[in-house]
Chain A
């Protein structure tokens, strides 16, 4: 079953979108999706790490001995996470503060290690890059969607990334703060999974 580069890219966007289909990497999905902006920021940071680590793992796949491969992957991933951490600290400091310990925690996000082990260690550089990009953007979209839903219901406004807040619900709306609190995250994600299950999965 040889897939083209384009197919490797698009599968991450719908058919295998990580948080919903595979239920992987849930911690950041639940924790940082209080607002659209946080969700998208986290998603893009993860995408960067995914693409970078996928490319490097794929390039080194014939050099790394298979016995110590997991340790090598973790070091590669941790390197890219450190790069992201420093970049965000330099250029998007407010977002860096909001995401807090969840940026270093990208290291232990199962999606990143999962793609390195399941895909990049067996495929060429171009395909691995496409796979990382697709998975990362799929992850970003899911985070953004969940963030937007929680923010609109929970506060009545929507914060566009790096812009300003737009009131969605009008003045008479009383914010349902449950959604931006911890339990709301679990319930919102559970109900979204349910909606995803209602839509048949395309082959």
Chain B
């Protein structure tokens, strides 16, 4: 049990997927201008990342490794993620329209979110067990959402300030992200 908690904390804070591993930066900068979109994206990512993590683990361990087809990992994973996203989208549209409307365009965008694919690859690379995969996928996703929402909060404030013209928009966004990453470095050595 202790191991699981340590793993969760390390995935959320110490190895934060956005700020320490640099995965999923496109949606990080793209959807963080408003709090609403940031929350929508964070929720969609938690949802898809956990499912994708578990399914790719099963695919890798029970199909690819058994058949000696590890070199097809990249193709297999991206297909699993793409079809999963499509499936989740159709399912939500039919059965939970409110949630579907809430997530909106963020669902299809997740296919090209490298945080999802990255988490799946890390799970396999670290040779996690099924339970560890579940915990790490969920924790990485929570870490992603946490950083995204934090950043969106800061960014909403920046809009109000007077930023020099060449630094505006993405440029100041990146510098701010750097400062947040600096704060997250404080978690190093915790686990």
Contacts and interface: CB of A to CB of B under 8 A. Distances in A.
Interface of A: 23-27, 30-31, 70-71, 74-75, 78-79, 81-82, 85-86, 100-101, 104-105, 107-110, 113, 181-187, 189-191, 193-195, 197-198
Contact of A27 (B26, B82, B179): B26
B129 interface: no
Contacts of A75: 75, 79
A159 to B, nearest CB: 20
B25 A183 contact: no
A191 B175 contact: yes
Contacts of B160: none
Contacts of A71: 82
> Is chain B's binding surface mostly helix, strand, loop or mixed?
helix
Given A23-B29, A74-B79, A74-B111, 9 more contacts: A105-B23, A105-B117, A105-B121, A110-B26, A183-B179, A187-B175, A190-B171, A194-B171, A198-B166
12 contacts: A26-B25, A26-B26, A27-B25, A27-B26, A71-B82, A74-B79, A82-B72, A109-B114, A186-B181, A191-B171, A191-B175, A193-B170
A193 B166 CA distance: 8
Nearest to B25: A26
A182 B179 CA distance: 10
Contacts of B184: 182
B22 interface: yes
B113 interface: yes
Nearest to A104: B74
Contacts of A82: 71-72, 74-75
B159 interface: no
Q: Which of B111, B176, B178 gathers most chain A CB within 10 Å?
A: B178
B112 A193 contact: no
Given A101-B121, A197-B171, A86 B178 contact: no
Contacts of B178: 183-187, 190
A187 B113 contact: no
> Is chain A's binding surface mostly helix, strand, loop or mixed?
helix
Interface residues of B, number: 45
Contacts of B25: 26-27, 30
A202 to B, nearest CB: 17
Contacts, number: 118
Contact of A183 (B117, B166, B181): B181
A41 B16 CA distance: 25
B5 interface: no
A198 B25 CA distance: 24
A30 B73 CA distance: 24
B186 to A, nearest CB: 11
Nearest to A31: B22
Contacts of A24: 26
Interface string B155-191: 0000000000111101111111111011011000000
Nearest to A187: B178
Contact of A101 (B82, B113, B118): B118
Nearest to B124: A101
B125 interface: yes
B57 to A, nearest CB: 15
Contacts of A79: 75
| 7 cross-chain pairs, A with B, having the tightest CB-CB distances, nearest first | A190-B174, A186-B178, A31-B22, A187-B178, A190-B175, A197-B166, A183-B181
B135 interface: no
A72 to B, nearest CB: 11
